[in-house]
Structure 1
Amino acid sequence: MKADFWKNNPVTVIIIAIQVIVYVMMTLAGGSENSVILLRFGALQAGLVHAGEWWRLITPVFVHIGFAHILINSITLYFIGMYVEQLFGHWRMVAIYFISALTGNLLSAYWLPTGISAGASTAIFGLFGAFIMLGLSFRDNQAIRILSRQFLILVVLNIVTDLMVPGIDLAGHIGGLFGGFLAAYMVAAPRLGRVNVIERLLATVVLLAGVVALFIKVS
């Protein structure tokens, strides 16, 4: 069973393994809630991105603030990543995950110019967005449609929670959600069927335009 999970979901397993390793290293270095350690390991801070440290638009997905943070994100990634990777394929999963991380962290850097943020949730929300795309594109598939609705409800509940609880990066979540939704259209899901070419083209144009506009805003 474990071997089958690794064979079917290597990207999900590797991402979780990396973030756990990073968390252990941060803990040993001085604590994952220490702002100095967070920045040293690649957390997002808009001023540093503005100074040319563009890698911070990706590295925050491997950095977590406290044990509860990494535990919740790892469990969530385990379940949603498993679905997305098997339905889209390994390399498309990579593309969706890191495009979502990029768009989420770009919007976060624009919206929160002075704060520090980290966590895989920007990319995880992108995986939710990818599943919503599947629900729209393959609505005749009952199983996909039901799962898509369930994930949509989960997204709505999370956004409501974000609005009520201080300190949560709502901008990063929304940016990741839309990034994943558009990226899923761009890469399509040939394992399930064809996606409308015009919709793919439009999503690609909107995604690229949004990324460029945010780059300009935070640079």
Structure 2
Amino acid sequence: MKIAYCEDEKIQKEILEESLGRWGKTDLVWYESAEQMLFECDGRYPFDLIILDIQMKKQNGMELARRIRQTDAQVPILFLTAMKEYVFEGYEVKALRYLIKPVQDEALFAILDEIQSADQRYVLLNGSRINLNDLIYVEAEAHYCHLVFEDHRQKEKIGIRELKAMLDETFVMIHRSYLVNIAKVDQIRREDLSAGSFTLPIARSQLKIVNEAFIRYNKGTRL
């Protein structure tokens, strides 16, 4: 499990490292300030979990979480704090949990176990953690792909066929410029389909393939 930890006190980092060592194998990346983390990550957070201390010099952990959420709505964020009054602010940044210092192994391990066992499907793409459960479709544009979610889209420098090779069988090519998450498809028509609030074109040559994939998925069998 790859974990980022932003904390300006080295002793707290060492305490967390010891706890993580008792839990199991992890890869901990330590940032001594919010400014360092924002600079080095540059808007991309390829981690299974981000742990933030709230009380830090200059920019605090809550402000850092708001910056992270500007470019990554999915990565789990865990706050460590000695002050309970920040808890309600966590709803704004969709915090996974709060732990009050000193952190108890039992509470931390429960969160790590939950993340490890969660039914999350994702790929790391150009440093971004892409949750495949939330990805609705992909649209190609020259040497780029637009990854479209219900509430946002992001542009990545990769060809659509190269991206398709990274995805699982739930993603079906419906047109030379479109991949769709078959789990998000509501209805298939002769020339297009509905996926959530989106209508996407289907190439005539792909219609049979898309129909068969849709039927198999909804029967609960593998594609």
Fold conserved between structures, TM > 0.5: no
Q: Which structure shows the bigger proportion of residues in helix conformation?
A: 1
- Which structure has more relative contact order (CA 8 Å, sep 6+)? It is 1
The TM-score normalised by the length of structure 2 is 0.29
The TM-score normalised by the length of structure 1 is 0.29
Q: Which structure shows the bigger proportion of residues in strand conformation?
A: 2
Q: Rg bigger for which structure? A: 2
